[in-house]
């Protein structure tokens, strides 16, 4: 090493490496502290799951309880459905990546809190049933009741983002931010919508031309958990339905595969063939906010169709009202 | 390639290591610099790199031709400026120009259906085009000898710490540094690394978290004027932290290569007059406009009215330089008008009678209103505002701006009191290390949380 390098290395050591080591140690200490408690990120999906988990922990006045993925969350207007059905309606629908076991866990939490619906409706989108769902933080949060620790390095940053979000009321990204503002705004919307909200997005992209339905192995396995939770709500009747696809995404194989998948889904959750809701396979593309999500117009129309389907599924002497 | 990305860090560290392994060997060092620069620039778009190489070849050749054929130098200079501005026009202004012509024709009852180019704007094109025009003008004026070393010249055009967003350098300062041996000192390492840390902090901890709040404040659907006010205040902090942060990082990275870049900012929000602001904000552009536009137009040598016209014309150009949109032109005219008014007020002794706090406040009002115009995509959005309701969100935004900017303000106040831009380095071992460590902790904490591109990359 040349003599000229010595002061340079000394400078690198004291001016760069020493402060970097101190900052790194402080970060590691903070991260270790943050890892002790899971911290949800400040995002749309996390907020929805948190809001629904909070609602599930309270006794809900629900003659009809909806559960399932986000196609039900944004595809149904619960207050409107309640008016159409003449009874109280609450939704605990969340997202596809929460999975059937997670949906079941929320239903189980609602039961434990004293919620006693007469009818439970499982609403799922075909695109979700085919997912090769792997354990993820959303499912873990729904099952465990708290957010699991993240990979090392992410927890302190999540805490920071959450604190900044709560302090600065950061708007959610894109159209969700424009419609609901910050996370608290979305949380309030979930509450006032009795567990349902409108998706303000607008971009329909089909995953493949001529969509075909199917149930993946991981989803099939998790449906057993949902089945147990539904059974525990007896004598509540469990009904099941598939939410619609954009018409432009359907093909010749869509309808037959849908029938078969609906039959398998009903069997998996212990529903009789008469418990399958007659719902439209498709709706026009302009009524969708995305491949799985209806927009405000589609939501209004599907809510009416769902009310019709529920009426048809219920026996003439059966009502949803206690 | 952004400074705050992993590929850039890898590229910078690899080229820095190789560069100093080749110390005392000028040509290989320049080869390393050029390869790193071209990789950095061509990372996202090879066409842009081809354009940059083309501009390098054309301007290198024109520089030599201007010097060798003095009788033709004026024609060659005009050709060179036209070629450079032509590229800028095609990429940046053509569609804007055509759309405005179509609108004007439509207003007269004519219908036109032109083809728009829709070209993506090469990163930093306005910066290197202005830098190259300055080179040709300096050569034609005899202030700078045309360069004969194509390698050094190519480094001057593509030098990766400053190619994306300046500072706009002069050949007499930067080019000559590629032609002589460089050395690395402990002082340069200390200063360079401090600038990188401070610049990164400004970008990652101050500018980026304000991005979503600025977007929300300026949202078209927002009809509350209070949101626009809060968004403008946030943008005032964001654009400074973003651009000054970039400039500090550029200067710091360059210092580690033994090459000195000019300061681009000198605490602009401490300015007590609009002239003072332009001596402190984007200083390399201000000097360029002064030397190559304002003075050639006549500067202040032809009477007050002509001076005021020159100020307006120069600042309108400064606005248009930022982007092909009318809000930038209005922003430039606002500053030009403020400069003209301040000049008149100063001549009648009005400015001298005001306390410094009042002139600072007046200056900041102009600057902040200017940023509002600058950030608005269309001035027509002002018509959507129908009420003013200051709420908790607006207070939270202002408080967040103050909290996030406080560390930078503290450093700048210390710089202002001591006159030393490296005041933190002079604090002594433990205190200096503690301040640097605190900034680094902030960077580690915020890194990757708000991914916002450098604002000035789009210009």
Instruction: Answer yes or no: are the C-beta atoms of B119 and B91 closer than 8 Å.
Output: yes
Give chain B positions within 8 Å (CB) of A163. Answer: none
Residue of B nearest to A21 (CA): B437
Q: Percentage of chain A surpassing pLDDT 90?
A: 67
Say yes or no: B20 and B38 in one domain: yes
pLDDT at B60: 98
Contact status of A29 with chain B (Cβ, < 8 Å): no
Task: Tell me how crowded residue A160 is: count the other CB atoms within 10 A of its CB.
Answer: 19
Which two tokens mark A145? 């009741």
Largest CA distance in chain A: 97
Instruction: Answer yes or no: are the C-beta atoms of B19 and B33 closer than 8 Å.
Output: yes
The answer to whether position B275 is within a domain reads: no
Say yes or no: B261 and B296 in one domain: no
pLDDT at A114: 96
Give chain A positions within 8 Å (CB) of B189. Answer: 8, 11-12, 15-16
Residue A27 is nearest to which of B399, B434, B441, comparing CB atoms? B441
For chain B, what is the domain count? 3
Instruction: Answer yes or no: are the C-beta atoms of A165 and B212 closer than 8 Å.
Output: no
pLDDT at A136: 87
DSSP labels, A223-254: HHHHHHHHHHTTTSEEEEEEEPEEGGG--TTH
8 Å CB contact of A23 and B393: no
pLDDT at A322: 58
DSSP category for residue B379? G
8 Å CB contact of A8 and B186: yes
pLDDT tens string B97-127: 999 999 999 999 988 888 889 898 899 999 9
pLDDT at A319: 63
Say yes or no: B15 and B105 in one domain: yes
In chain A, the N- to C-terminal Cα span, in Å, equals 87
Say yes or no: B434 and B346 in one domain: no
Return phi, psi of residue B146, to 5°: -60, 140
pLDDT tens string A211-229: 999 999 999 999 999 999 9
Say yes or no: B42 and B101 in one domain: yes
The answer to whether position B369 is within a domain reads: yes
pLDDT at A149: 81
Task: Tell me how crowded residue A163 is: count the other CB atoms within 10 A of its CB.
Answer: 12
Catalytic residue check, B282: no
Say yes or no: B347 and B456 in one domain: no
Contacts of B193 (CB under 8 A, 6+ apart): A12, A15, A16, B252, B256
Say yes or no: B109 and B27 in one domain: yes
Cα B38 to Cα B26: distance, rounded to the nearest angstrom: 18
pLDDT at A316: 61
Contact status of A14 with chain B (Cβ, < 8 Å): yes
Q: Residue A152 — pLDDT band, cuts 50, 70, 90?
A: confident
Q: Which is more confidently placed, B361 or B23? A: B361
Cα A273 to Cα B197: distance, rounded to the nearest angstrom: 66
pLDDT tens string B122-148: 999 999 999 999 999 999 999 999 999
Say yes or no: B168 and B62 in one domain: yes
Give chain A positions within 8 Å (CB) of B20. Answer: none
Give chain B positions within 8 Å (CB) of A27. Answer: 441, 444-445
pLDDT at A318: 65
Give chain A positions within 8 Å (CB) of B213. Answer: 168, 170-171
Cα B157 to Cα B40: distance, rounded to the nearest angstrom: 13
In chain B, the N- to C-terminal Cα span, in Å, equals 15
Query: Which segments of B263-378 does DSSP mark as H helices, in order?
Result: 274-280, 283-289, 304-322, 326-347, 350-353, 356-375
pLDDT at A1 over 60: no
Count how many pairs of residues, chain A against chain B, have C-beta atoms within 8 Å.
89
Cα B197 to Cα B186: distance, rounded to the nearest angstrom: 16
Tokens 């990766």 identify what position?
B160
Q: Residue B416 — pLDDT band, cuts 50, 70, 90?
A: very high
pLDDT at A96: 95
Q: Whole-number mean pLDDT of chain B?
A: 93
Which two tokens mark A233? 């709500």
**Span B220-234, average pLDDT:** 90
Domain ranges of chain A: 1-36, 44-313
pLDDT tens string A294-319: 999 999 999 999 999 999 988 666 66
Q: Percentage of chain A surpassing pLDDT 70?
A: 95
Contact status of A8 with chain B (Cβ, < 8 Å): yes
Cα B414 to Cα B23: distance, rounded to the nearest angstrom: 36
**Span A147-174, average pLDDT:** 82
Q: Residue A276 — pLDDT band, cuts 50, 70, 90?
A: very high
pLDDT at A321 over 70: no
Per the structure, the complete domain to which residue B93 belongs is given by 6-183
pLDDT tens string B342-381: 999 998 888 889 999 999 999 999 999 999 999 998 888 8
Among B13, B216, B391, B439, the strongest candidate for a mutation testing the A interface, having the largest count of A CBs within 10 A, is B216
pLDDT at A40 over 80: no
Q: Which CATH number fits domain A44-313: 3.40.1010.10, 3.90.1300.10, 3.40.47.10, 3.40.50.1110?
A: 3.40.50.1110
The answer to whether position B204 is within a domain reads: yes
Say yes or no: B178 and B190 in one domain: no
Mode of pairing for the β-strands spanning A64-68 and A119-125? parallel
| Cis amide linkage into residue B52, ω under 30° from 0 | no
pLDDT tens string B432-443: 999 999 999 999
Among A168, A179, A183, the strongest candidate for a mutation testing the B interface, having the largest count of B CBs within 10 A, is A168
Residue B184 is nearest to which of A8, A10, A178, comparing CB atoms? A8
pLDDT tens string A239-251: 999 999 999 999 9
Element (H, E) at A119: strand A119-125
* Count of helices and strands (H, E) across chain B: 18, 0
Which two tokens mark A95? 């997202």
Cα B332 to Cα B87: distance, rounded to the nearest angstrom: 22
Say yes or no: B102 and B129 in one domain: yes
Say yes or no: B144 and B239 in one domain: no
Q: Residue A4 — pLDDT band, cuts 50, 70, 90?
A: low
Say yes or no: B385 and B395 in one domain: no
């Amino acid at each position: 090493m040349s003599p000229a390098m010595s002061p340079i290395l000394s400078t690198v050591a004291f001016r760069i490496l020493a402060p970097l080591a101190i900052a790194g140690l402080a970060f590691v200490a903070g991260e270790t502290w943050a890892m002790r408690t899971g911290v949800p990120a400040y995002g749309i999906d996390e907020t929805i799951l948190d809001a629904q988990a909070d609602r599930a922990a309270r006794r809900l006045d629900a003659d009809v309880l909806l559960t399932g993925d986000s196609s039900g969350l944004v595809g149904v207007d619960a207050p409107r459905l309640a008016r159409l059905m003449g009874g109280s309606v609450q939704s605990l629908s969340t997202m596809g990546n929460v999975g059937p076991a997670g949906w079941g866990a929320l239903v189980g939490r609602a039961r434990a809190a004293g919620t006693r619906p007469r009818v439970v409706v499982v609403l799922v989108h075909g695109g979700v049933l085919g997912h090769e769902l792997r354990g993820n933080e959303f499912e873990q949060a729904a099952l465990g009741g708290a957010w699991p620790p993240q990979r090392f390095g992410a927890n302190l940053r999540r805490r920071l983002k959450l604190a900044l979000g709560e302090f600065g009321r950061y708007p959610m990204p894109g159209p969700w931010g424009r419609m609901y503002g910050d996370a608290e705004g979305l949380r309030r919307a979930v509450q006032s919508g009795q567990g349902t909200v409108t998706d303000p997005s607008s971009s329909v992209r089909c995953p493949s031309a001529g969509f075909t339905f199917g149930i993946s192995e991981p989803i099939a396995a998790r449906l057993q958990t949902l089945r147990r939770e539904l059974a525990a709500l007896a004598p509540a009747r469990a009904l099941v339905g598939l939410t619609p696809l954009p018409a432009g995404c359907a093909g010749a194989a869509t309808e037959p595969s849908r029938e078969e998948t609906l039959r398998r889904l009903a069997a998996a959750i212990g529903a009789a063939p008469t418990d399958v809701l007659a719902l439209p396979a498709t709706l026009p593309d302009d009524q969708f906010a995305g491949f799985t999500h209806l927009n405000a117009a589609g939501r209004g129309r599907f809510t009416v169709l769902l009310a019709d389907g529920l009426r048809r599924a219920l026996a003439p002497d059966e009502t949803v009202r206690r | 390639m952004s400074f705050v990305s992993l590929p850039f860090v890898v590229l910078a560290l690899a080229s820095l290591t190789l560069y100093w392994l080749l110390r005392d060997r000028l040509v290989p060092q320049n080869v390393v610099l050029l390869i790193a620069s071209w990789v950095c620039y061509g990372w996202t778009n090879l066409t842009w790199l081809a354009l940059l190489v083309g501009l390098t070849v054309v301007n290198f050749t024109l520089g030599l031709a201007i010097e060798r054929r003095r009788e033709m130098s004026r024609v060659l200079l005009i050709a060179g400026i036209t070629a450079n501005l032509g590229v800028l026009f095609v990429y940046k202004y053509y569609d804007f120009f055509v759309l405005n012509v179509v609108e004007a024709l439509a207003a007269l009852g004519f219908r036109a259906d032109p083809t728009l180019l829709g070209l993506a704007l090469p990163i930093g094109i306005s910066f290197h085009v202005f830098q190259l025009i300055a080179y040709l003008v300096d050569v034609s004026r005899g202030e700078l000898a045309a360069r004969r070393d194509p390698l050094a010249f190519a480094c001057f055009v593509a030098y990766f710490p400053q190619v994306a967003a300046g500072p706009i350098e002069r050949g007499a300062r930067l080019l000559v540094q590629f032609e002589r041996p460089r050395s690395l000192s402990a002082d340069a390492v200390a200063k360079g690394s401090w600038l990188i840390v401070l610049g990164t902090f400004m970008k990652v901890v101050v500018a980026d978290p304000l991005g979503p709040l600025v977007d929300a404040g300026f949202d078209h659907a927002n009809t509350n004027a209070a949101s626009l006010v809060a968004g403008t205040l946030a943008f005032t902090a964001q654009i400074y932290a973003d651009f000054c942060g970039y400039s500090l990082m550029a200067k710091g990275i360059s210092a580690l290569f033994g090459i000195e870049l000019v300061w681009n900012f000198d605490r602009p929000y401490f300015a007590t007059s609009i002239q003072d602001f332009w001596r402190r904000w984007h200083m390399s552009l201000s000097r360029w406009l002064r030397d190559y536009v304002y003075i050639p137009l006549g500067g202040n040598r032809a009477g007050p009215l002509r001076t005021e016209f020159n100020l307006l014309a120069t600042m309108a150009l400064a606005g248009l330089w930022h982007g092909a949109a009318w809000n930038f032109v209005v922003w430039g005219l606002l500053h030009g008008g403020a400069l003209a008014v301040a000049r008149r007020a100063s001549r009648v002794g009005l400015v001298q009678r005001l306390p410094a706090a009042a002139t600072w406040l007046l200056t900041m009002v102009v600057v902040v209103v200017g940023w509002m115009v600058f950030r608005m995509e269309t001035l027509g959005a002002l018509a959507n505002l129908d009420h003013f309701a200051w709420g908790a969100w607006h207070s939270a935004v202002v408080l967040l701006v103050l909290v996030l900017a406080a560390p930078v303000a503290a450093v700048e106040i210390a710089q202002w009191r001591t006159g030393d831009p490296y005041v933190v380095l002079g604090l002594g071992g433990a205190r200096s290390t503690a301040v640097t460590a605190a900034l680094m902790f902030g960077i580690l904490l915020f890194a990757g949380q708000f991914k916002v591109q450098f604002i000035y990359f789009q210009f």
